[in-house]
Structure 1
Amino acid sequence: MKPEERNFQGIWIPRAIYLNTEVNWYAKILFLEIHSFTDNGMECYMSNKYIASFLHISERQVSRYVSQLKSLGWIEETSFNGRKRFPRSLLHFGYDPGDPDMTILAWKPGHY
């Protein structure tokens, strides 16, 4: 899929992913990218080269992060031909705004 064909508006980061300490932010972003496709019923296919370029990491790191996400049960690969991966998110998140945690801002009137 070409970037201009995708109506990308951003990614919402579920709390469980945001606060997770088992993987680093590269793996989290990779998961969220996969999830943004497959949770909406779209097929996700990416080469290690594309993922590495997107995240500014090596292809070896891509393989390691994919393995981590699979071992945690966050994703599965429906197909991999040695070049292109077809990952799918196994997690589902319900959005419940609930009571937000308080955020303390260091804002003072007159300071913008």
Structure 2
Amino acid sequence: MSDHRAFRGVWIPADIWMNRELSLQEKVMLIEIDSLQHPERGCFKTNKALAEFFDLSPSRVSRIIARLEQAGWVRVELVKEGKQIVERRIFMSRSLGGAETQEGYCGNASNPSAETQEGYCGNASERGSGVRGSTPRGSDKPSRPSDDVRAVFDHWREAMGKSDRTVLDDNRKRLITKALDSYSLDDVKSAITGCSLSPYHMGENPGRKRYNELGLILRNADKIEQFIGYAEQPPANVHRLDDHRPRPKHTGLDQANAAGLTPRADGTFSL
């Protein structure tokens, strides 16, 4: 597979670069998709190829593209032969250069590229100059669906069995907003689901204490990705609370490690 392109770099419009509704990964993926537009086929590079280029997992690429489609930046078409999908085509829903796209092609309509490789578009005069229109287009700026912060909060409250008295205060808003700056709505909700599937974090531990607050789940990238992993593969508890059989000497340490706790010098653990 060739990564040759008929331009000298990529150009990021101001309204993309300054957009707080998009994570950094979503921004660069959007620019990559835009740079790979083919007149008829849009960007037809596979998730695997995009994952190799960005050093991500194919599943992560899939979620990023789904988020961009949900936010109205791209549209996705699936080409089928019978029931089998033979190609996925991603078209830009709007131009990143100031003009509306035509059927997903944002290059120079009078001089579209010749047949491309792996979905690349090569209009050198436009993409190599780096001087396309840079006036922000506020009316074209996509907005996050209704209230993602509220959606995350409601999902957490329901998943953890919180009462109606649990409020969305400023601290929780900040935690959720910060997480949504780097992860999609689905990923943040998946992290919450993952925590709810962990017996240890839901109270099946020696202290019978729940570790399922947003402050823990959304504390940082490591925690978010840890709990996303739990959603994809729920952890098994080390032992049941009503199991009184003799346990190995280091069961507590093994359980703490499985729950992602950090040992302290005094023999206790921190989340």
- Normalised by the size of structure 2, how large is the TM-score? 0.32
Could you say if the C-alpha distance between residues 15 and 84 of structure 1 is closer, same or farther in structure 2, counting changes exceeding 3 Å?
A: same
| Matched residues, number | 96
**1:23 Cα deviation from its structure 2 partner:** 1.9
Could you say if the C-alpha distance between residues 59 and 20 of structure 1 is closer, same or farther in structure 2, counting changes exceeding 3 Å?
A: same
Task: Tell me whether 42-51 or 66-75 shows the greater mean CA deviation.
Answer: 42-51
Gaps spanning 5+ residues in structure 1: where?
99-112
**Which of the pair has more CA radius of gyration?**
2
**1:16 Cα deviation from its structure 2 partner:** 0.9
- Aligned-partner SS, 1:46: coil
Q: Does 1:46 align with 2:45?
A: yes
Q: Which amino acid aligns with 1:36?
A: S
1:20-78 CA-partner distances (Å, limit 9, x unpaired) = 1122111111111111233x736321111111111111111111101110011000112
Partner of 2:93: 90
Distance 1:55 1:7 in 2: 20
Q: Does 1:8 align with 2:10?
A: no
1:62-97 CA-partner distances (Å, limit 9, x unpaired) = 111011100110001122666753101111232446
Distance 1:83 1:27 in 2: 25
Distance 1:50 1:8 in 2: 20
Could you say if the C-alpha distance between residues 83 and 46 of structure 1 is closer, same or farther in structure 2, counting changes exceeding 3 Å?
A: farther
Could you say if the C-alpha distance between residues 70 and 55 of structure 1 is closer, same or farther in structure 2, counting changes exceeding 3 Å?
A: same
Partner of 1:18: 17
Gaps spanning 5+ residues in structure 2: where?
99-131, 136-271
1 or 2, which has the higher strand percentage? 1
Higher relative contact order (CA closer than 8 Å, sequence separation 6+): 1
**Does structure 2 conserve the Cα–Cα contact (< 8 Å) formed by 1:47 and 1:83?**
no
- Normalised by the size of structure 1, how large is the TM-score? 0.71
- Aligned-partner SS, 1:79: strand
Distance 1:48 1:35 in 2: 15
Distance 1:84 1:11 in 2: 25
Could you say if the C-alpha distance between residues 80 and 67 of structure 1 is closer, same or farther in structure 2, counting changes exceeding 3 Å?
A: farther
Distance 2:40 2:2 in 1: 14
Distance 1:55 1:83 in 2: 23
Partner of 2:78: 79
The alignment yields a C-alpha RMSD, in angstroms, of: 2.4
Distance 2:19 2:79 in 1: 27
